Amino acid sequence: MTLTFRLSWPLLRVLRSVMSGMSASRGTPQRESPPPINELYHARRLSLVRLAVLMVDDLPTAEDVVQDVFAGLYQRHGADLRTVADPQAYLTAGVMNAARSVLRRRRSARAYVPPPPPLVPAAEEEALLSEGDHEVVAALARLTVRQRQVVVLRYWSELSEQEIAEVLHVSRGTVKSTANRALTILRDALSEVRR
C-alpha cells in the first residue's frame, strides 16, 4: 500500500531548498559559505563606520579604521572568506581594536611635552658683558642648582645666610657649606681660564 499526500507549493520549495543543501555523501546540511568580501563590505561598512565614530569621535579617522580592517581581512583571508568562521564578528573586533589603537596614539601624542628650548641670552646682554663677565657666567654654569641659588642670593641679592636659609628651606649651616663649596668651584674654574 502506498501513501500519497498533497504538499503545498511553499512547503515544496522549502523542502527542495533543504534537500539541495544536503550533502549527498553524509546527509548533513552544508554550511552556507560566508559572503564575498565586497558584498560584506557593502552590507557592513556603514554600521562599522558608525561604531568607529562612537569610539574615535572623528569621521575621517573612523572611515580609515574601517578601511584598514577590511584591507587586513582581505590580506589575510582573500576575497571569498571561507576560512573565517564569523566574518562579521571578526570585523567588529577588528574595528574595536583599531579604534583603541587610535585612542592610545592620541593619548601618547597629547602626553608628549617637547623639551623647553635652551635659554639663549639676549644680544644686548652679550654685547654688554665684558670678557671677564663671560668667564664668570661660564664658571657659574659648572655649579649645581642649589650652589647657584646660594651664590646668587648671597652675592647678587645680598641676603644674609639666615634669609637664604629661610628662602631655600634649609639650615643656616647648609647655606654656609654650600656657599663655601660653590666659591671653591668658582675659584678653580676661573683660575683654569686665566692660565
Confidence at residue 38, expressed as pLDDT on a 0 to 100 scale: 84
CA angle 124, 129, 134 (to 5 degrees): 125
Distances (CA, A) of 24 to 20, 33, 82, 105: 9, 17, 21, 54
With a CB cutoff of 8 Å and minimum separation 6, the contacts of 41 are: 70
Q: How far is CA 10 from the centre of its chain?
A: 58
SS (H, E, C) the chain: CCCCCCCCHHHHHHHHHHHHCECCCCCCECCCCCCCHHHHHHHHHHHHHHHHHHHHCCHHHHHHHHHHHHHHHHHHHCCCCCCCCCHHHHHHHHHHHHHHHHHHHHHHHHHCCCCCCCCCCCHHHHHHCCHHHHHHHHHHCCCCHHHHHHHHHHHHCCCCHHHHHHHHCCCHHHHHHHHHHHHHHHHHHHHHHHC
Confidence at residue 81, expressed as pLDDT on a 0 to 100 scale: 78
SS (H, E, C) 130-160: CHHHHHHHHHHCCCCHHHHHHHHHHHHCCCC
Confidence at residue 12, expressed as pLDDT on a 0 to 100 scale: 46
Per-residue pLDDT of the chain (195 residues; tens, 9 = 90+): 444 445 445 544 544 554 454 444 444 555 555 457 888 888 999 999 999 999 999 999 999 999 999 999 988 888 877 788 888 899 999 999 999 999 999 999 999 888 888 877 777 776 777 777 778 878 888 889 999 999 999 988 899 999 999 999 999 999 999 999 999 998 888 887 676
Confidence at residue 32, expressed as pLDDT on a 0 to 100 scale: 57
Note whether 81 and 37 are within 8 A (CB).
Answer: yes
